[in-house]
């Protein structure tokens, strides 16, 4: 027996979660429910000098990959720790669930490499971790690739196999875009189930805490060409919430093909995402909204009866779209939220903030329920967050791949004072099955008092698709709001392209 017991102990570390000491989602939910019944207590902040350190000083604190959790067993999933500092102003508690039950992961200062000995001397031995990074052999069995990061408030980022990091997701958004200011709840504790060495999925849990709400989350992640994160949440509001944002996505749009180029910029476009895509369950409609960098805050509330999915996509996927060898925006991931169950009526909210550079995430998209969110109720949501290429969502319709906007009173645009010329290129999906001389029709409508002066569609040989041309004029001092799609007889061929150009913009030449 003495020779067998060590082997059993070793194997016990990899017993499937179902056979482990009982701890799971309902245990986290009970913790969240209990917290929601008590006054909120903010997490303990890290030392002041770490909150105010420079970006370079923070980057010079690096986790040693040789110290990754589960590296000793050769596990495909491994965990690297994120140090607090700069933007990460409080520690989170990390736990591991294995054959021995649930137990904390102690902070070890020696697991980090400090480029500055003075900083190393001042970092306390009980600092804690700001979050974690997950690694997996996405690009070859002999290397561990970072594919997901949980750090900072309720933020997390993911990539598919062929992506570089860009867009972020969050556990929850509260009052985003409202004048009184946004609330940022945080994940304060995580439990990581130890996977078997050859596992292809990993499960972990998170406890969310904020002034208005406490919540429990279950995450099951499947890394791959498209990385999928299945999410289950239970939310317990401790006070009424005016604007609850479920499954929020956060991205950056500085400028693109449908905006003016900032003076002095040589790059063609600069953005992590170029549009919002929505799939409504009841109507079956697919909608596309190109993003903007507005001069003032813009908030759009897009009605859904039973949303099946929404996402911020990066459809421009060629290097020539950006010409940036460092940022490589063509490799930034798209992200798609696939809902599970009936979420009922609500709105996909698009928040667009002005930004003067590419360092600020100025785009947020999330779903909000129609019904009011009140203290004491419990809310449950299940969905999947995907990170990958522009094909996420599985849209079978023709897609808007380019949107150009120009002055409608200049040569090449038109001769209508106060108007705009809009060009939209569609291809893909069922549209690609149409022959170049097919009698494809365009359908364009304006709202907010706008006027559609002309519209027509023609085959675009260069892109093997169809180009819609629109000349439209907004009402005086009003935004230009348009909807458009293509059809063949009674058959709809494309998604619905929607656009809202604020009255205060940089497109038209000053009179």
Q: What CA–CA distances, in Å, run from 224 to 50, 145, 165, 330, 507?
A: 35, 11, 14, 19, 41
Query: pLDDT higher for 141 or 223?
Result: 223
Examine the domain organization and report whether 378 and 481 are in the same domain. Answer: no
- Residues 340-359 have a mean pLDDT of 96
Selected residue with higher pLDDT from 21 and 427: 427
Given a cut of 60, is residue 6 above it in pLDDT? Answer: no
Mention every residue, 6+ apart, whose C-beta is less than 8 A from residue 504: 294, 295, 296
Asked if residue 331 belongs to a domain, the reply is: yes
Contact residues for 487 (Cβ-Cβ < 8 A; gap 6+): 440, 441, 443, 493
Whether 324 and 277 share a structural domain: yes
Residue 506 in any domain: the answer is no
Are 27 and 111 in contact by the 8 Å Cβ rule? The answer is no
pTM score, two decimals?
Answer: 0.93
Residues 331 and 417 in one domain: no
Q: Give the pLDDT score at 405.
A: 96
| Mean pLDDT in residue range 394-402 | 96
User: Do 186 and 56 share a structural domain?
Assistant: yes
Give the residue-averaged pLDDT of 294-320.
96
Q: Output the pLDDT for position 511.
A: 65
What pLDDT does residue 19 have?
A: 41
With beta carbons less than 8 A apart as the criterion, state whether 154 and 166 touch.
no
For residue 98, the domain's CATH number is 2.70.98.10
Q: What is the pLDDT of residues 449-483, one digit of tens each?
A: 999 999 999 999 999 999 999 999 999 999 999 99
Q: Is the dihedral of CA 218, 152, 273, 282 positive or negative?
A: positive
At residue 373, does pLDDT exceed 50? yes
Rounded mean pLDDT, 268-293: 95
Strands (E) in 238-378, as ranges, are 244-251, 253-255, 270-271, 275-280, 286-290, 298-304, 307-313, 334-340, 346-352, 363-369
- What is the CATH number for 493? 2.60.40.10
What is the per-residue pLDDT for 261?
92
Pair (316, 288) in one structural domain = yes
Q: What are phi and psi of 170, to 5 degrees?
A: -140, 160
Express as a percent the part of the chain with pLDDT over 70.
Answer: 95
Residues contacting residue 194 through CB under 8 Å, at least 6 positions apart: 13, 14, 70, 96, 97, 98
pLDDT digits (tens, 9 = 90+) for 139-153: 988 899 999 999 999
pLDDT over threshold 50, residue 124: yes
**Which position has the higher pLDDT, 412 or 93?**
93
Q: Which of 388, 417, 434 is the last residue of a domain?
A: 388
Please report whether residue 510 resides in a domain: no
Q: Quick one: which of 387, 361, 100 has its CA closest to 222?
A: 387
* Mean pLDDT, residues 318-347 taken together: 97
Q: How far apart are CA 194 and CA 15, in angstroms?
A: 9
Percentage, residues of the chain above pLDDT 90? 91
- Does the residue 508 lie in any domain? no
296 shares a domain with 262? yes
193 and 290 assigned to the same domain: yes
pLDDT at 7: 36
pLDDT at 256: 96
From the CA atom positions of the chain, what is the Rg in Å? 25
Average pLDDT taken over every residue of the chain:
93
Distance of CA 321 to the CA centre of its chain: 21
- List the single range of 48-62, 97-111, 341-355, 497-511 with lowest mean pLDDT: 497-511
- Read off the pLDDT band of 282 (50, 70, 90): confident
412 pLDDT band, cuts 50/70/90, is: confident
Tokens linked to 253:
């749009």
Judge contact between 97 and 38, C-beta under 8 A: no
Q: Is 50 exceeded by the pLDDT of residue 9?
A: no
Return phi, psi of residue 206, to 5°.
-135, 145
Asked if residue 456 and residue 337 are part of one domain, the reply reads: no
Domain end, chosen from 388, 409, 426, is at 388
What is the residue range of 109's domain?
Answer: 4-388
The answer to whether residue 394 sits within a structural domain is no
| pLDDT tens digits along 23-43 | 999 999 999 999 999 999 999
Domain total for the chain?
A: 2
- Let me know whether 318 and 185 are in one domain: yes
326: left (phi over 0), alpha (psi -120 to 50) or beta: alpha
Looking at 324, 358, 388, the residue that finishes a domain is 388
Give the per-residue pLDDT at 509: 74
DSSP, res 508: S
Query: Taking 70 as the threshold, does the pLDDT of residue 5 lie above it?
Result: no
Q: Is 393 left (phi over 0), alpha (psi -120 to 50) or beta?
A: left
Whether 246 shows a pLDDT value over 50: the answer reads yes
Is 310 buried (19+), middle (13-18) or exposed (0-12) by CB count in 10 A?
Answer: buried
């Amino acid at each position: 027996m003495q020779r067998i017991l060590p082997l059993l102990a070793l194997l016990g570390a990899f017993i499937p979660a179902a056979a482990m000491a009982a701890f799971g989602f309902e245990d986290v939910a009970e913790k969240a429910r209990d917290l929601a019944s008590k006054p909120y207590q903010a997490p303990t902040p890290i030392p002041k000098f770490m909150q105010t350190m420079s970006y370079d000083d923070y980057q010079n604190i690096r986790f040693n990959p040789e110290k990754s959790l589960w590296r000793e067993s050769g596990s495909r999933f491994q965990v690297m720790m994120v140090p607090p500092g700069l933007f990460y102003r409080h520690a989170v508690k990390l736990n591991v669930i294995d054959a021995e039950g649930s137990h904390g992961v102690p902070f070890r200062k020696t697991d980090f490499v400090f480029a500055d000995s003075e900083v190393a001397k001042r970092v306390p031995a009980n600092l804690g971790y700001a979050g974690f990074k997950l690694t997996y052999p996405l690009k070859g069995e002999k290397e561990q690739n970072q594919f997901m990061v949980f750090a900072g408030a309720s933020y997390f980022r993911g990539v598919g196999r062929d992506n570089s990091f860009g867009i972020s997701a969050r556990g929850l958004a509260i009052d985003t875009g409202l004048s009184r200011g946004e609330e940022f709840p945080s994940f304060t504790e995580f439990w990581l189930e130890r996977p078997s060495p050859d596992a292809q999925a990993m499960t972990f849990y998170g406890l969310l805490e904020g002034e208005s709400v406490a919540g429990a989350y279950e995450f099951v992640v499947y890394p791959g060409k498209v990385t999928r994160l299945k999410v289950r949440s239970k939310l317990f509001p401790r006070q009424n919430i005016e604007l609850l944002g479920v499954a929020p996505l956060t991205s950056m749009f500085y400028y693109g093909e449908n905006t003016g180029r900032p003076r002095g910029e040589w790059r063609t476009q600069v953005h992590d995402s170029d549009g919002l895509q929505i799939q409504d369950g009841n109507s079956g409609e697919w909608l596309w909204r190109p993003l903007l960098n507005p001069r003032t805050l813009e908030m759009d509330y897009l009605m859904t009866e039973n949303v099946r999915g929404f996402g911020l996509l990066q459809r421009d996927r060629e290097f020539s779209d950006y010409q940036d060898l460092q940022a490589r925006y063509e490799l930034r991931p798209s992200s798609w939220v696939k809902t599970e169950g009936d979420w009922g009526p609500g709105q996909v909210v698009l928040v667009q903030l002005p930004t003067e550079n590419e360092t600020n995430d100025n785009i947020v998209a999330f779903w909000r329920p129609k019904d009011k969110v009140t203290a004491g109720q419990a809310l449950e949501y299940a969905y999947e967050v995907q990170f990958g290429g522009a094909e996420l969502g599985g849209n079978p319709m023709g897609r808007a791949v380019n949107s150009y906007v120009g002055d409608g009173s200049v040569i090449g645009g038109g001769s209508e004072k106060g108007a705009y010329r809009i060009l939209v290129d569609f291809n893909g999906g069922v549209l690609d099955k149409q022959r170049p001389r097919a009698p494809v029709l365009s359908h364009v409508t304006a709202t907010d008092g706008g006027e559609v002066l002309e519209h027509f569609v023609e085959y675009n040989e260069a892109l093997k698709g169809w180009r819609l041309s629109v000349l439209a004029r907004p009402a005086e001092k009003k935004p230009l709001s348009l909807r458009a799609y293509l059809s063949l007889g009674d058959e709809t061929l494309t998604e619905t392209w929607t656009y809202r150009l604020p009255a205060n913009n940089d497109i038209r030449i000053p009179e």
